[in-house]
Amino acid sequence: MHYPNIQQAVFLERPNRFIAHILVEGKEQLCHVKNTGRCKELLIPNTTIYVQHHDNPNRKTKYSLIAVQKGELLINMDSQVPNQIVAEWLKTGKLFPDLKLVKPETVFGSSRFDFYLETSQKKIFMEVKGCTLEQNGVVMFPDAPTQRGVKHIQELILAKQQGYDAYLIFVIQMKGVQYFTPNRLTHPEFADVLLQAKKAGVNILAMDCMVTPDSIEIDQQVPIQL
């Protein structure tokens, strides 16, 4: 995944979930934040960020926030990109060499999963979660309570019980972390249902990413501690 028109900027403040004030080329500008999560550990005043410039005169904001520098880590903050890069990764055949069908946004039960896949032998439902919360080399999800996330995992368990294969992919939007673990302190129920899913046979993967200011792609599997 490549982003055109990337510029370095400085984060100033975030008055609401969708908008940030930034400094670009010495001028204060409004910037769209492509992530509604809290991200308080990332969006600190005077932090170096990377933004995408848009030429569309009808946009309310000329810029979108793509990535944040956190110490030595460069973290992609775009919450829409995990599905895109998982789709690109699936097409390489690295996870399923005999993949025959990739169908995004597919309904099962009362949930809409990110992907429905078919190989020569399996029918698979897959859910994707992007991760940007990191502390001392440990990546966690979620950064805020998510009943929607709990429901998705419960539906993956049900799909597994009904004969489908089920995958939950945590996309770690950075490189250089030690392991992934659920954020039990923030949402104990999510951590509990994730453990239930593992016991039920749901495949849980955490994949890190190669990240630059203007690109991101799936790279390698990261250990998981439940």
User: How far, in Å, CA of 219 to CA of 209, rounded?
Assistant: 5
Q: What does the block give as tokens for 146?
A: 């998510």
For residue 167, the model assigns a pLDDT of 98
Q: What does the block give as tokens for 171?
A: 């996309």
pTM: 0.94
* Mean pLDDT taken over the chain: 95
Predicted confidence (pLDDT) per residue in 91-133, tens digit: 999 999 999 999 999 998 888 999 999 999 999 999 999 999 9
Predicted confidence (pLDDT) per residue in 153-191, tens digit: 999 999 999 999 999 999 999 999 999 999 999 999 999
Burial (CB count <10 Å: 0-12, 13-18, 19+), residue 121? exposed
Q: How many CB atoms lie within 10 A of CB 31?
A: 26
Predicted confidence (pLDDT) per residue in 65-96, tens digit: 999 999 999 999 999 999 999 999 999 999 99
Band (59; pLDDT cuts 50, 70, 90): confident
Instruction: Encode 127-187 in three state secondary structure.
Output: EEEEECEEECCEEEECCCCCHHHHHHHHHHHHHHHCCCEEEEEEEECCCCCCEEEECCCCC
What average pLDDT does the segment 190-216 reach?
A: 98
Burial (CB count <10 Å: 0-12, 13-18, 19+), residue 124? buried
Residue 131 in contact with residue 119, Cβ under 8 Å? Answer: no
- pLDDT of 38 strictly over 90: no
Band (36; pLDDT cuts 50, 70, 90): confident
Question: What is the distance in angstroms between the CA of the first residue and the CA of the last residue of the chain?
Answer: 30
Indicate if the alpha-carbon torsion angle 99, 218, 173, 29 is positive or negative: negative
Report which DSSP code applies to 196: H
For residue 56, the model assigns a pLDDT of 85
Band (57; pLDDT cuts 50, 70, 90): confident
Q: Which residues of 7-28 are buried (b: 16+ CB within 10 A; e: fewer)?
A: bebbbbebeeeebbebebeeee
Alpha carbon 206 to chain centroid, angstroms: 11
